[in-house]
Amino acid sequence: MRPPIIILTEAELRALVPLDLAAIDSMEGAFRALATQAVVMPPVMRLDMPLGEVDVKTAYLPGLPHFAIKISPGFFANPARGLPSTNGMMVVLSAETGLVEALLLDNGYLTDLRTAAAGAVAARHLARADAASAAILGAGMQARMQLRALSLVRPIRAARVWARDGAKAQAFAAEMAQALDFPIAAAASVEAAVEGADVIVTTTPASEPILHHAAAGAHVTAMGSDAPHKNELAPALLAGGTYVADRLAQTRIQGELHHAIAAGLAAPDAIFPELGQVIAGLAPGRTDPAAITVTDLTGTGIQDTAIAAFALTRARAAGAGQTFTA
């Protein structure tokens, strides 16, 4: 007898799984597992079409009763039609039987959430414990979530934001200062935004470096590079810092590291630590308060499986969603 399938909508998932410390902890567990367990994570499947693209990610994490397959479309003419450019859903299957257990119709919300949570995990393990000021580059939805996530793990008391569109930076500053209850200023340049900042998070779709310098002791999280052409960090900044990948095999070909390798500032086969190894104590992270640490987040299927399993556990505990027998 097949068990019924639980279907959860975006609104239900937003209510069940807000951006909080529990979500961040679940992401930390996923990265730790990547370094310490026999995780199975195939390369991302990508389908390129005339009007858009779709990425499919998956991973199996020993010990979790479920695994997720995530479908992430990006169709960049959508906003002209009044539709969001990114969407998507996750299918959650039993790791015991392969049966579909849940359909998470999240329209990309869980991806946004796990990406923000990964930024917080990086800051928790690499930023100085007393990091109090943040600079956010980019002023979109992910920029908002990164600042909120960061403020859950570090005692942030002030932030600056920069965006190519100054009006968006102003709107971000006004909105987020109210939400987070500390002063946030819109900066006129990247340099002005990052001057003296303890933590810098880049969230733009830039394809040329926008960040060239960081203060001594700063931590930088680059979370924009989910495709080979994307590039936010100057290769020299990366090469001069303590570099940590989310998944080295992936950052070598599509992360910020890829551009440092292309610039001849990193060897193609150089070994760098992964975030999970730092979390598990298998690799050093920050060893010097004056070091610049850099985390390169390209997005991994293990994060999707972890956040989907987390959401499904919460949904079952709450009796949320509709059930459907196929």
Residues in touch with a copy of itself (CB under 8 A): 1-2, 5, 7, 9-10, 40, 42-43, 45-52, 54, 56, 58-60, 62, 67, 69, 71, 73-75, 78, 81-83, 87-89, 91, 93, 95-100, 103, 105-107, 324-326
What is the arrangement of strands in the sheet containing 133-137, beginning at the earlier edge strand? 184-186, 158-162, 133-137, 199-202, 219-222, 293-296, 242-245
Identify which of 118, 102, 89, 113 has the alpha carbon closest to the alpha carbon of residue 17: 113
Task: Say how many Å lie between the first and final Cα of the chain, rounded.
Answer: 11
Question: Least CB distance from residue 245 to a copy of itself, whole Å?
Answer: 22
Closest CB to a copy of itself among residues 58, 231: 58
CA–CA distance, 302 with 203 (Å, rounded to integer): 21
Closest CB to a copy of itself among residues 95, 171: 95
- Residue type for position 205: P
Question: Least CB distance from residue 170 to a copy of itself, whole Å?
Answer: 29
Question: Least CB distance from residue 319 to a copy of itself, whole Å?
Answer: 19
* Cβ pair 113, 19 in contact under 8 A: yes
Closest CB to a copy of itself among residues 120, 309: 309
Closest CB to a copy of itself among residues 97, 208: 97
Quickly list H helices, 48-97. none
Closest CB to a copy of itself among residues 48, 181: 48
Cα 203–Cα 249–Cα 256 angle in degrees, nearest 5: 30
What is the arrangement of strands in the sheet containing 53-59, beginning at the earlier edge strand? 45-48, 53-59, 66-74, 89-94, 100-105, 5-9, 322-324
Task: Kindly list the distances between the CA atom of residue 78 and the CA atoms of 15, 87, 109, 142, in Å, as whole numbers in the listed order.
Answer: 26, 10, 17, 18
Question: Least CB distance from residue 29 to a copy of itself, whole Å?
Answer: 19
Question: Least CB distance from residue 110 to a copy of itself, whole Å?
Answer: 12
Closest CB to a copy of itself among residues 50, 319: 50
Question: Least CB distance from residue 269 to a copy of itself, whole Å?
Answer: 24
Closest CB to a copy of itself among residues 33, 147: 33
Identify which of 192, 181, 230, 226 has the alpha carbon closest to the alpha carbon of residue 208: 230
Closest CB to a copy of itself among residues 95, 215: 95
Phi, psi of 105 (to 5 degrees): -85, 70
Question: Least CB distance from residue 10 to a copy of itself, whole Å?
Answer: 6
Question: Least CB distance from residue 135 to a copy of itself, whole Å?
Answer: 32
